[in-house]
């Protein structure tokens, strides 16, 4: 995937990795962490050192004492029942450092300590994972897409913590597609391109186009008085919303506010405690983890499972930049490539309403702009989209912006 790559991570530095989806950012982090080749088979040549000690012969368990890794899928890194138990395991591994307690407080993990990890939202899980690995400071941190599920407050907390960690001699290697969200915490940026690492400027948010059409009058989805409970507690109360033909709506809200829970009810995957949901056609939902919705052995077989013909499948694969990956297994794709594959599948299934939960994760700016233009083309033909995301630049691509606040829904217009 890359060769002849040289990269130094000095004390007190935070290095950001950027590059196109599938360019090798996650592969590099997993190689340093030891997951490659110990868990994911691959040929690794070269030399990696930490404080002069060679890492090549250390397995992931041995390296865990020396470096801390936050994977790009928080749910895959939480093994114990509660965040309190996860944090206790971190303290046993790295010691009860004051910085770890600061991270727990800053990331708002305190109220989550005795919740079951399986009941946490994606953003809450990401906060827990980050609080766990920050216990390792001043050891080097390897962070893969650490802002993917964080709300604005969570990103600000992470930015502050990374700055404090570097000032105390810590260091971090951060792969982040939306690097502009981390502000001044990153001291230098490195771009992976064509298998090489090059110095780069700070990334800027993409300038996404606005919809070029107005929504129609017909309502495709209507929710009335919806109340949602989770774990015996009321999460949302008396929520009502409408999606009209051709409309693109962005739904935001703080971590744990109930965005995904509401989306699952709207998609018919869960039942509300009270209220009704009426739809005028098929409603499909794309989950935050695309891997949960990909089942076939190859990319080609995945799109063939929709029943589309050969010529149409070929057109859709080209449209999503996947034609050269047709023979690959979905699990070998990068996060962004899996996202693109799942969007290709949904493109072929042609739902009347499509709910996209964190559609921008893993996508570089160019890929995100391509997706937004595709959404606009499909919406102009009558499909309705509900985009669920913390990425505020998506507000420019939507007709309306909604936010979940204190169990209710608020219209925010287009302002950030």
Closest CA to 240 of 261, 226, 220: 226
Residue 167 has a pLDDT of 92
CB 139 within 8 A of CB 112: no
Proportion of the chain above pLDDT 70, given as a percent: 98
Residue 57 has a pLDDT of 77
pTM, two decimals, is 0.88
State the maximum Cα–Cα separation within the chain, in Å, rounded to a whole number.
67
Sorting pLDDT into bands at 50, 70 and 90, what band is 193? confident
Residue 3 has a pLDDT of 56
| Each residue's pLDDT tens digit, 38-77 | 777 777 777 787 777 777 778 888 888 889 999 888 888 9
Residue 416 has a pLDDT of 45
**Burial classification of residue 47, based on how many CB atoms lie within 10 Å of its CB (0-12 exposed, 13-18 middle, 19 or more buried):** exposed
pLDDT at residue 259 above 80? Answer: yes
d(C-alpha 13, C-alpha 246), whole Å:
47
What are the strands of the beta sheet with 233-244, ordered from one edge? 233-244, 219-230, 274-279
DSSP string, 307-360: T--HHHHHHHHHHTT-GGGTTS-GGGS-HHHHHHHHHHHHHHH--SEEEEESTT
d(C-alpha 6, C-alpha 47), whole Å:
10
What are the strands of the beta sheet with 141-144, ordered from one edge? 68-70, 141-144, 172-175, 14-18, 188-193, 196-200
Mean per-residue pLDDT, 380-403: 95
pLDDT at residue 218 above 80? Answer: yes
pLDDT at residue 172 above 90? Answer: yes
Proportion of the chain above pLDDT 90, given as a percent: 66
CB 196 within 8 A of CB 5: yes
Q: 374 — phi, psi (to 5°)?
A: -65, -45
- Sign, Cα dihedral of 189, 193, 197, 200: negative
Sorting pLDDT into bands at 50, 70 and 90, what band is 4? low
Instruction: For the chain, give the mean pLDDT.
Output: 91
| Each residue's pLDDT tens digit, 103-132 | 999 999 999 999 999 999 999 999 999 999
**Helix or strand run (H / E) with residue 168:** none
pLDDT at residue 367 above 90? Answer: no
C-alpha separations of 392 from 17, 251, 324, 414 in Å: 21, 10, 32, 10
Residue 247 has a pLDDT of 98
Sorting pLDDT into bands at 50, 70 and 90, what band is 243? very high
- Domains annotated for the chain, with CATH where assigned, are 14-200 (3.40.50.300), 219-411 (3.40.50.300)
| Each residue's pLDDT tens digit, 274-325 | 999 999 999 999 998 888 899 999 999 999 999 999 999 999 999 898 999 9
pLDDT at residue 414 above 70? Answer: no
Mean per-residue pLDDT, 172-183: 90
Sorting pLDDT into bands at 50, 70 and 90, what band is 162? very high
| Each residue's pLDDT tens digit, 69-98 | 998 888 889 999 999 999 999 999 999 888
Sorting pLDDT into bands at 50, 70 and 90, what band is 2? low
Per DSSP, 110 falls in state G
């Amino acid at each position: 995937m890359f060769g002849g790559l040289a990269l130094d991570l000095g004390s007190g530095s935070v290095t950001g990795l950027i590059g196109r989806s599938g360019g090798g950012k996650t592969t590099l982090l997993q190689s340093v962490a030891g997951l490659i080749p110990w868990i994911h088979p691959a040929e690794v040549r070269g030399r990696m050192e930490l404080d002069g000690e060679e890492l090549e012969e250390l397995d992931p368990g041995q390296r865990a004492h020396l470096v801390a890794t936050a994977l790009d899928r928080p749910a895959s890194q939480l093994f114990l029942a509660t965040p309190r138990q996860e944090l206790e395991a971190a303290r046993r591994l790295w010691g009860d450092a004051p910085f770890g307690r600061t991270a727990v407080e800053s990331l708002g993990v305190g109220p989550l300590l005795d919740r079951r990890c399986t009941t946490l939202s994606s953003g809450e899980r990401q906060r827990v994972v980050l609080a766990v690995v920050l216990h390792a400071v001043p050891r080097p941190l390897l962070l893969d897409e650490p802002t993917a599920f964080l709300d604005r407050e969570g990103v600000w907390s992470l930015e502050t913590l990374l700055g404090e960690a570097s000032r105390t001699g810590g260091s971090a290697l951060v792969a982040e597609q939306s690097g502009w969200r981390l502000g001044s915490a990153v001291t230098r940026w490195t771009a992976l391109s064509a298998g090489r690492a090059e110095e780069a400027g700070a990334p800027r948010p993409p300038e996404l186009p606005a919809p070029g059409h107005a929504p129609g009058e017909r309502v495709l989805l209507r929710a009335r008085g919806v109340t949602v409970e989770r774990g015996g507690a009321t999460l949302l109360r008396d929520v009502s919303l409408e999606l009209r033909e051709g409309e693109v709506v962005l739904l935001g809200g703080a971590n744990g506010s109930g965005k995904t829970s509401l989306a699952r009810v709207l998609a018919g995957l869960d039942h509300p405690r009270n209220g009704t949901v009426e739809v005028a056609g098929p409603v499909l939902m794309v989950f935050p983890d695309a891997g949960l919705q990909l089942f076939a052995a190859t990319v080609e077989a995945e799109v063939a499972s929709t029943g589309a013909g050969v010529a149409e499948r070929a057109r859709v694969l080209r449209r999503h930049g996947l034609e050269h990956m047709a023979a690959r297994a979905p699990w070998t794709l990068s996060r962004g490539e899996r996202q693109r594959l799942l969007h290709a599948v949904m493109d072929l299934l042609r739902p009347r309403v499509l709910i996209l939960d964190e559609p921008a994760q893993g996508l570089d700016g160019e890929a995100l702009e391509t997706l937004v233009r595709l959404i606009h083309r499909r919406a102009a033909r009558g499909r309705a989209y509900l985009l669920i995301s913390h990425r505020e630049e998506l507000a420019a691509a939507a007709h309306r912006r909604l936010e979940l606040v204190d169990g209710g829904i608020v219209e925010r217009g287009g302002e950030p």
